Chains A and B, each alone.
Chain A
Amino acid sequence: MRASRRLIAVVAGLSIIAAACGSDDDSSADESDTTEAEVDTTEAATETTEAETETTEAETETETTEAETETTEAETEATTPETTVPPVVRAEADLVIWADDTRTPVITPLAEAFGEANGITTAVQEVNFDDIRDRLATAGPAGEGPDVIIGAHDWLGQLVTSGLLAPVDLPNAADFSEVAVQAMSYDGQLYGVPYAIENIALLRNVDLVPEAPASLEELEQIALGLVESGEAEIPLAIQNDPGDPFHNFPLYTAAGGYLFGQNPDGSLNPDDLGLDSEGGLAAGAQFQAWAESGLLQAGLSYDIMIESFGNGEAPFAITGPWAVADPDRGFKATGVNYVVEPIPPLNGTTASPFVGVQGFMVSAFAENPLFAQTFITEVMTTEDVQTDLFVAGGRPPANISAFEAAAAGDPDIEGFGQSGINGQPMPAIPEMGSVWSAWTDAYALILNGTSSGEQAFQDAADQIRALIAEG
């Protein structure tokens, strides 16, 4: 008994001392805690990035705002749930920014300069791009979130309806391309400062096809002719694995389809779905015809797309700036002789690609909202900064003068910009979540020859309506 009493006394004494020591250097403990957390985060981020790159190189492009974003998220979450679950812990700083690996190095010096000029501390935390949206949803309300995030405009639907973003006031909105500002707006309110615009375009191998085709009919004829004569192996390098609503969208619009109708105020109306409209069904039939003629092929992955066009085995490709800039296999790297131009019309109807806009947004739960607003509207909007971001990431700037400067030095940027003029912002409404899967299935069924084009689009429209009603 005595022995155990002595023991208790010793333990109690020691623990009090230890706890006291602990609270003595509380601050230092805190600091090391956060650094650890940061390291963890980056590790997690790199792990997921690796997973992705290994997964499908296709997804290297997913930092863009396109259809695959959805599916990659799927993959990341699915394959490495453990690495994505631990939330990022907010760094100890007055202004905390979450950015991805390509943008962190550009933003860090800008943030530091801003901090030094104003006497505040700043931190740029690297978070895997596809995780930023979901992590903001958990970390923001918990008070562990950042002040500023970098994000894609099509996240707005989910982020705004969940109440995670603060409105942004951009007095010099006229300096930015109209479509970019429009894309960054949701329900009539601006939620971000746009910095990059991206869309897909037609890439033509000049050696195989010296003259730009005036229409999609002509393009089909030339492409199939080249395959027939053995000069090319794949008529049109466009991703369809197993189906790809994002890359097919310009073809779909050229064939007469639309996705969502518009309300009188210009916002999208999820009740007006265009897949089984007259034009939509006609487009379905057109896709069936293209599948039968061999212009579109099932199972054409990003790898096959980039390698076939990059090696001169395909006369045409429909893809985005990421495929040009891909460090190893990109078209600049392989030296294929190409031009970037708008996708030609079909039967006189314009091909309209989705436009994705990326920008800076302010968390509704920002610890220092004023610093955040000041930083993104007064620093990140300038032509110089937007040019720096372009040089680092290769994404065409949203700032008009920065874009013009970039386009003057780079015909590819000019070409993608021309194609984007016909484009429309990718819908940001949350209902888009139900579109990708059903529409991908529809394209897969058409390209496999399982369903007729009209039937596949009709089924997809029914599925999407059911999911929206289920909401």
Chain B
Amino acid sequence: MSGVSVDDSDTVPAADQRSGGRRPPLRSAFTLGLLVKVAFLATVNALSLWALTQMVVEGVWLAVTFLVVATVAIDVIYLNTKRWSIPYKYLLPGTIFLLVFQLYPVIYTAYISTTNLGTGNILDKDEAIDQVVATSIGTTESGTTYVSQAAIDDDGTLGLILLDEATDPPSLYIGTSEELTPIEESDVTRDGDRITGAAGFTALTLGEAADYEQDLAALEVPADEGVIRLRTFNRAALVEYRIQYDEATDTMLDTATGVVYAPSDGYFVSDDGQRLTPGWQINIGFENYKRVFQSEAIRGPFFRVFIWNWVFAAGTVTFGFALGLLLAMSLDHPKLRGKKLYRSLLIFPYALPSFLTVLVWQGMMNQNFGIINQLTGLDTPWLTDPWMARVSVLIVSTWLTFPYFFLVSTGALQSIPEDLTEAARVDGANGAQAFRAVTLPLLLVAVAPLIIASFAFNFNNFNVIYMLNRGGPPIPGAETPAGNTDILVTYTYRLAFESGRGQDLAFATAISILIFLHVALFSAWSFRKTARLEEI
């Protein structure tokens, strides 16, 4: 309703209004702020118009719809002077980015997990059919090859001037997609050795043929026992395709053996189970999820890995936080000198790239050649004994995590008013009691969300596990290769990229969706729990 009143006021003689200064915001907005706004919106619109033209050409209608809706929404919200639009002006960019960069990948991953995407099932069905036929190409029994010269006639018909050098004298032909015609040497015009034309056809150089490349590559000249096609630009051969596709029945026929292949589960399969490759991508519903829970081979080490995953993530966060807090408190002492130096040094493990430092740790912990064992004269199996390896992993991940908690704890400690601990002391509490009753709860209010985030991160901390020991040492006799320090991500990695068929991407996405759900649920639950802390 307020908008109406503003409009009404516009009808009142202008001089009054302006001099009265009732609408200065609009006025000043019209100067600089508005210019920026208009320029910004114009840029956004121009960009999406440009993107739209590209997308429409590509035919990606989902993206087109999203772009149109998003652009219209931006225009409507930002050109709006109504009051209701104000919150949306803040929310809209975030929402759009959330949709594009967070939600879309998750949905796409979920979608992939319901397919059979992986080695052998990358293409769509039409592409797969083309490839099955194309890769069955072979020379015919006669194995005739030709020196070829691509040519074009006045009507734009493409042809090949073919020279069979095996005969004496060499025989000449003109081949088009219609027919193969023998010609005489006298029909051919030459420039030196190079044929420049024959029987109405003008020769094309390789460069001139660039425009017709796809057509030439697909050109098949019918011959008695097969087709003649180009193998390179200068050479053609009499070839046949062993496998032929019958569109009517949607089957493949092996002309050499007479075996028929019918489509099944994303492949053409014969009655006795032989597959033709490549296959194609199909939707297989929840099969990948079923496999996680039903397959003996995968379930085998799964539980062990899952338990260790929890121990690893919880242990890393606990030890990292404890160590970080301890150091933060000791360096918080007002009389300590050189605080800045200590603090800077302690941040080192956090500041260096972890995949590098973890590898340094790996080298140091090598049982036979590592510097730790060499300096101490010990023979500790840091990475080769199952229990020792777990300890080593925790040592390294704690080493990587504590600087983070040291930083946040230092900050949080400084924000806790000293009078509170002093008050506690006045009331007769000793240091430990004051810490437990006052400092720690207040600290947790600030740090608890970070602890949860750190847990979620470490739950999927591929780098530490894989770089340090590749999840090893191996579990002897496991159903599928798995290591004593493998966590779900590294185990998934083994399953997905070292699988029996090569790479099994869809299966990997299924497991990552499960991990995502698990971590998300746990985080949500913990956030609700910690919300209570704030009431203290």
Q: Are B501 and A471 in contact (CB under 8 A)?
A: yes
Q: A119-B208, A298-B384 are contacts. A162–B500 as well, Cβ < 8 Å?
A: no
Q: How far is the CA of A2 from the CA of B296 in the complex (A)?
A: 71
Q: Which of A77, A433, A444, A466 contacts B502 (CB 8 A)?
A: A433
Q: Contact: B127 with A141, CB < 8 Å?
A: yes
In Å, the complex CA distance between A137 and B502 comes to: 13
A431 to B499 Cα, complex, angstroms: 7
Q: In the complex the two chains form, what is the Cα distance from A35 to B493 in whole Å?
A: 34
CB under 8 Å from chain B, chain A span 1-41: 1-4, 7-8, 10-12, 14-16, 18-19, 22-23
Proximity bits, B488-503, A CB within 8 Å = 1, else 0 = 0000011001111111
Number of A interface residues at 8 Å Cβ cutoff, please give it: 93
**Complex partner residue of B499 from A299, A368, A434, CB under 8 angstroms:** A434
Do B479 and A463 touch across chains, with their CB atoms under 8 A apart? yes
CB neighbors of A among B327-365 (8 A)? 355-356, 359, 363
Contact between A373 and B232 (Cβ–Cβ < 8 Å)?
yes
The 24 listed contacts between A and B (C-beta, < 8 Å) are A7-B79, A12-B45, A16-B49, A19-B46, A19-B50, A78-B466, A79-B463, A141-B123, A169-B232, A169-B235, A171-B235, A189-B135, A242-B472, A298-B368, A367-B214, A368-B213, A368-B217, A370-B232, A373-B233, A374-B234, A450-B476, A455-B476, A463-B479, A470-B297
A430 within 8 A of B: yes
| A-binding segment of B35-43, B416-424, B426-434 | B35-43
Q: Are A120 and B120 in contact (CB under 8 A)?
A: no
Residue B205 is within 8 A (CB to CB) of chain A in the complex: yes
B277 touches A163 (CB 8 A): yes
Known: A23-B50, A371-B213. A163 touches B481 (CB 8 A): no
Interface string of A448-463 (1 = CB under 8 A from B): 1011000110010011
B454 part of interface (Cβ distance < 8 Å): no
What is the interface size of chain B, counting residues whose CB is below 8 A from a CB of the partner? 97
**B501: A residues at CB distance < 8 A:** 161, 430-431, 433, 471
Q: Is the CB of A262 closer than 8 A to any CB of chain B?
A: no
Complex contact A8–B79 (CB within 8 A)? yes
Question: What is the 8 Å Cβ interface bit string for chain B, positions 451-477, against chain A (1 contact, 0 not)?
Answer: 000000000001100110110111011
Residues of B within 8 A of A118 (CB): 205-207
Q: Which residues of B contact A55 (CB under 8 A)?
A: 355-356, 359, 467
Chain B interface residues toward A at CB < 8 A: 3, 7, 10, 26, 30, 34, 38-39, 41-46, 49-50, 53, 75, 79-81, 119-124, 127-128, 131-132, 134-135, 137-138, 145, 205-210, 213-214, 216-217, 230-235, 237, 277-278, 291, 295-298, 355-356, 359, 363, 366-370, 381, 383-384, 462-463, 466-467, 469-470, 472-474, 476-481, 483, 493-494, 497-503
Which of the residues B42, B79, B381, B463 comes within 8 Å of A78, measured between beta carbons?
Answer: B463
A79 to B470, CA, bound (A): 13
Q: Which residue of B lies closest to A297 (CB)?
A: B368
Residues of B within 8 A of A189 (CB): 135, 137-138
Tell me the complex Cα distance, A328–B375, Å.
27
CB closest residue in chain B, given A378: B232
**CA–CA, A137 and B119, complex, Å:** 9
B480 touches A463 (CB 8 A): yes
Please report which residues of chain A, range 128-168, place their CB below 8 angstroms from some CB of chain B when the two chains form the complex. Answer: 137, 141, 157-158, 160-167
Contact indicator A56/B359 (Cβ below 8 Å): yes
Q: Which of A2, A54, A77, A450 is most buried by chain B, counting CB atoms within 10 A of its CB?
A: A450
Given contacts A169-B232, A371-B213, contact A11 B497 (CB under 8 A): no
Contact B477 A79 (CB under 8 A): no
How far is A397 from B300 in the complex, measured between Cα atoms in Å?
A: 46
A11-B79, A14-B42, A463-B480 known; A471+B497 contact, CB < 8 A:
no
Interface residues of A (CB under 8 A from B): 1-4, 7-8, 10-12, 14-16, 18-19, 22-23, 51, 54-56, 70-71, 73-75, 77-79, 94, 118-120, 137, 141, 157-158, 160-167, 169, 171, 187, 189, 241-242, 297-301, 303-304, 364, 367-371, 373-374, 377-378, 430-431, 433-434, 436-438, 441-442, 444-445, 448, 450-451, 455-456, 459, 462-464, 466-471
Interface residue from A23, A120, A163, A242 paired with B122 (Cβ < 8 Å): A163
Q: Is the CB of B500 within 8 A of A160?
A: no
Q: Would A445 and B207 be within 8 Å (CB), given that A162-B120, A433-B498 are in contact? A: no
Give bound CA distance, A345 to B472, whole Å: 32
Closest-CB distance, B370 to chain A (whole angstroms): 8
Q: B132: which A residues are within 8 A, CB to CB?
A: 163
- In angstroms, Cα B122 to Cα A120, docked, is 31
**Closest Cβ–Cβ distance, residue B151 to chain A (whole Å):** 14
